[in-house]
Chains A and B, each alone.
Chain A
Amino acid sequence: MAGVTFREVRKIYAGGIEAVKGVSFAVPDGAFCVLVGPSGCGKSTLLRMVAGVETVTAGEIRIGERVVNDIEPAERDIAMVFQNYALYPHMTVYNNMAYGLRNRGVPKPEIDRLVREAARILEITELLKRKPRELSGGQRQRVAMGRAIVRQPKAFLFDEPLSNLDAKLRVSMRVEIKKLQRQFGTTSIYVTHDQLEAMTLADMLVVMNAGRIEQIGAPLEVYERPATTFVATFIGAPPMNLLRLAAAELSGLLGASAAVPPEGGILGVRPEDLVLAPAGARSDGGLALPLTVETVERVGPESFVYGRLARGGDVIVRIPGAAAPSFGEQAVAIAPRHKLHVFSADGSRRINS
């Protein structure tokens, strides 16, 4: 087992497209690191560079102490779970799992023991004689996992492994992956565009956008203190409300002691931090936004109120239960001061602590 370290890693494709623009961070030994971002942000490219199926244009990737830039994937001692599982279609489940061990010259009885052990853990023992095409999506996913864990590699790499599963299976596999990773304690890097998956799985969350890292931190830390407006809107659903405010308005809200840039800034508040009060209500020193209700989405335990602000712009308020106001009603969305997020005018920096 080993950590994975990135130093100024860059990837420029043959067409001149820069997919990864100089990324540095370290995944500690045994950590579960999730790379999250919209499609095209470079997260998969980064993962594939760790696997060795994509070359590194510049910079350095280390697995443990070893720089792996020019090392064959076979020599890196990692395992990868692909989005489409990439099972060998002509081999049985048993052989799919045994393939990596055979390539490494593990003796036959040992292979048999390891494959059966992995199959037992994943509860796929009765599938060992089947071919991949005879399996359901969830079973294939398990076999792909089995192929990864059977070798006991230095690191697991996951490339959106759950995105081909239906919603219910995705949740149960998510729990299972986390459990397995805990059990093995193997360093894992997991790529996803699903922020919920990212939040629930990660020990360490890396939010990427357009080839750069926007923020690194523990999931809750990222949720509570997003470093940029991109992270603020990407992590959390529905996304954080953002309002562009002038400097005077901002200092009025945050108090005179706060350092507010002269060009103003962007105020962020999460839908779940807002409370809906009757029209005319006021907030003590916090935020109060008069609005007209436009749409309400009731999902059962909670409802999302979409409102049009009196000052212009839209806002989403999340309220518990289904007792939401109806269309056209006037209301005020209120949030206490300590729930507010303030960013620089270009959204690239967080201003309040």
Chain B
Amino acid sequence: MQKRAVFGHRLLPYLLLAPQIAVTLVFFYWPASQAVWQSFLLQDAFGLSTRFVWFENYRALFSDPAYYNTIVVTFVFSAAVSALSLSIALLLAVMADKPLRGATAYRTLLIWPYAVAPAVAGVLWIFMFQPSLGILARGLRTLGVDWNPLLDGTHAMILVIMAAAWKQISYNFLFFLAGLQAIPKSVIEAAAIDGARPVRRFWTIVFPLLSPTTFFLLVVNIVYAFFDTFGIIDAMTGGGPSKATETLVYKVYQDGRLGGDLGGSAAQSVILMVIVIALTAVQFRYIERRVTY
């Protein structure tokens, strides 16, 4: 059922919306349009003159194999981070949903990592896995793994994925726990009486009923992996070694801020924007249809 608000004055609804619209215009549409404009420009090396070059920046971008590499890295990274943080968080939430002694303390502890700043989280993981100092790196070495994220791209990738996923687990955990607690207990009891054992109960009842939460978190996590992991990557690997952990967002920063290629960087951010819009649209259109109930 939808409720319709009735306003006494014709201007009032617009007035009430104005602050939100102003914020969106100033902090989103304006910079976004700037980026679009900028992506058509080319500056000389000293920043003295600017030329309008149409799609030259995009053409350069798509003829650069390094850019495709970054796209692959980003997708691998996002998929791994989302899958890892979602599945671990779901596992923890299912555990925490059981009536346990000290459940509140356990839940609170699980929420803490979310309060850790990305860069700090990155530094923590660096320390643990630093090849010569890190306590966990040492453990890995004694197990016979030649662990070195400073030189080995795969190792570096695993490391940033773990750190980024770890950071997001708390958030996912909270939502999963809330989602689990919203499932009526009697439905699960009914399933138990209907002869479903715990594992089957989970996959046939709990998981489908949780799908709206899972779907929401999937969108949030992918967006997180695309954008909010910048701090972690910057602190841990700086995109290296040899661009093995350079995601799209990091490359925007790398090329624009460090490389001084404003036009190219702007073109990348426009592409990024399109990817995210497309991703969200696809998710909402196709996945939500299968989200039952």
Contact = CB atoms under 8 A, between A and B. Distances in A.
A80 B211 CA distance: 26
Given A51-B189, A84-B186, A86-B186, A99 B194 contact: yes
Contacts of A99: 191, 194, 196, 204
8 contacts: A72-B197, A80-B189, A90-B211, A99-B196, A100-B195, A103-B195, A104-B195, A151-B194
A265 interface: no
A88 B189 contact: no
A89 interface: yes
Contacts of B186: 82-84, 86
Q: When A and B form their complex, which 10 residue pairs have the shortest distance between CB atoms, in order from nearest?
A: A100-B194, A103-B195, A86-B186, A86-B190, A90-B292, A90-B293, A73-B192, A74-B195, A53-B189, A90-B208
A151 B191 CA distance: 13
A158 to B, nearest CB: 12
B141 interface: no
B103 to A, nearest CB: 12
Interface in B162-215: 184, 186-187, 189-197, 200, 204-205, 208-209, 211
Contact of B196 (A53, A86, A89, A103): A103
B193 A74 contact: yes
A29 B287 CA distance: 50
B291 to A, nearest CB: 9
Contact of B184 (A53, A72, A86, A133): A86
A82 B293 CA distance: 20
Given A103-B200, A133-B293, A86 B192 contact: no
A100 B197 CA distance: 11
Nearest to B205: A88
A316 to B, nearest CB: 38
Given A103-B200, A133-B293, A86 B195 contact: no
B193 A52 contact: yes
B215 to A, nearest CB: 13
A86 B190 CA distance: 7
A87 B200 CA distance: 17
Given A131-B293, A133-B293, A88 B187 contact: yes
A143 to B, nearest CB: 12
Interface of A: 51-53, 72-74, 76, 78-80, 82-84, 86-90, 99-100, 103-104, 131, 133, 147, 151
- Chain A interface, DSSP helix/strand/loop, else mixed: loop
B209 A53 contact: no
Given A53-B192, A88-B205, A151-B194, 16 more contacts: A51-B189, A52-B192, A52-B193, A73-B192, A74-B195, A79-B194, A80-B193, A86-B189, A87-B190, A88-B187, A89-B293, A90-B292, A99-B191, A103-B196, A103-B200, A133-B293
Contacts of B196: 74, 99, 103
Contacts of A104: 195
Given A74-B195, A104-B195, A82 B209 contact: no
B192 A72 contact: yes
B192 A74 contact: yes
A275 to B, nearest CB: 48
B198 to A, nearest CB: 9
Contacts of A103: 194-196, 200
Contacts of A100: 193-195
B54 to A, nearest CB: 51
Given A72-B197, A82-B186, A99-B204, A89 B209 contact: yes
Contacts of A131: 293
Contacts of A89: 187, 209, 293
B26 to A, nearest CB: 42
